[in-house]
Amino acid sequence: MGIRTWLAKRLADWLAREREASGMPMCDFERLCFEIRPCDVLLVEGRSRVSDVIKNITQTAWTHSALYVGRLADIEDPALHALVEKFYSGSERDQLLIEGLLGEGIIVAPLSKYADYHLRICRPKGLAPQDAQRVIEYCAQHLGTEYDLRQLIDMARLMYPYAIVPRRWRSTVFEHHAGIPTRTVCSSMIGAAFNYVHFPILPVVHRAQDGKLQLFKRNSKLYTPRDFDYSPYFDIIKYPYLGFDDVAVYRQLPWNQEGVICNDVNDCYLPDPTGLVTVGVGHESASVEAERDLPQTGAPATKEG
C-alpha cells in the first residue's frame, strides 16, 4: 500500500466515523421495515464528520441515500440474485439496501443497520414494476466500485461563488469525463439509475416558443440526498413513533360490545363463555337467558360442541 493510498484510507476512516446516537430516533423503525418497498429511496440523517460536511453543503438534515432492494429470497431474477448474493453473506431473509459509503464503496447492507437513525422513505410515484427492476439492476451493477471523494469535494467547491474561486480550485463536476468512471457517490448512483429509465427527479424544464414543454435529464453528479425529498415526483413517507394515525380507524367502528356472533343478518347468537358449547336451541335455559340481550333478528343458531 502506497503512502497516498494509506493517507486516503485514514482520511476516509476519520471522516466516516459515526458518533453515538443521542436520544431516541424520530422514526418508528419497525413500521418502516413493514411498509418499505423495493426501489424506495431511503434518506438517512448521518452522524459522521462527512455527514456534517454534507449538511453544510446542502443545508438539509439528509446526508445519505440508499436504494431498498428487498430480501434476497424475494429476488426472482437469477442473475440479479447471484450478483447481490456475491456482495452479501447474511441471511436471505434480511431486508437489504444498496448504498455508497466513504471508505467502503458501493455495497449491500442490511436495513437493520439504520434502526436508531432518523429516516424517511421517498417513493417514486407511478414507477412501472419493470422499470423499478431496472433501477435496482443498474445500482447492483455498480457494486464493488469505489466511493468518489473527489466528487464530494467538487460539490463543496461548487457551493462557493464561482467568480471568486481561483481557476485551479474550481469544480470539475461539469466536465464531461471528470473523475474516474468506476467511482461514484450514493445519491449520484441512484440519480443515474432513475435517469436510466427516464424517471424524473429534478429535470431541467424548457418551454419552447410554441409553448411546448421539454424535459432534460439533470447531470446525475449534481444530485444530493435532499433532491429526492424535494422532488415533486416522489411521495414522502414518514413513520413517527407517535403520529395522528396511530389509532387505527377499524378500532373506532361501532362493534357490538356484547360478544354477539352472526352467521347472517337474521341468524345471530351469543357463544357459550366456557367455549365448550354454543348457546342456542337444545340448551333451553341458557338460550332464554342469552336471548334477553340479543337483537330481535330471528332464531339463534344451533351448534353442538
Q: Which domains does the chain show, CATH number per domain?
A: 3-237 (3.90.1720.10), 254-291 (no CATH)
- Is residue 283 over pLDDT 70? no
**Residue 50 burial class via C-beta count within 10 angstroms: exposed 0-12, middle 13-18, buried 19 and up:** buried
Looking at residue 272, its pLDDT comes to 81
User: How do 183-184 and 146-147 pair as beta strands?
Assistant: parallel
Q: Which three cell numbers stand for residue 260?
A: 354477539
What pLDDT was estimated at residue 157? 54
pLDDT band at 288 (very low <50, low <70, confident <90, very high): very low
Do 42 and 13 meet the contact criterion of CB atoms below 8 Å apart? no
199-215 pLDDT tens trace: 999 999 988 888 899 99
The structure's pTM equals 0.70
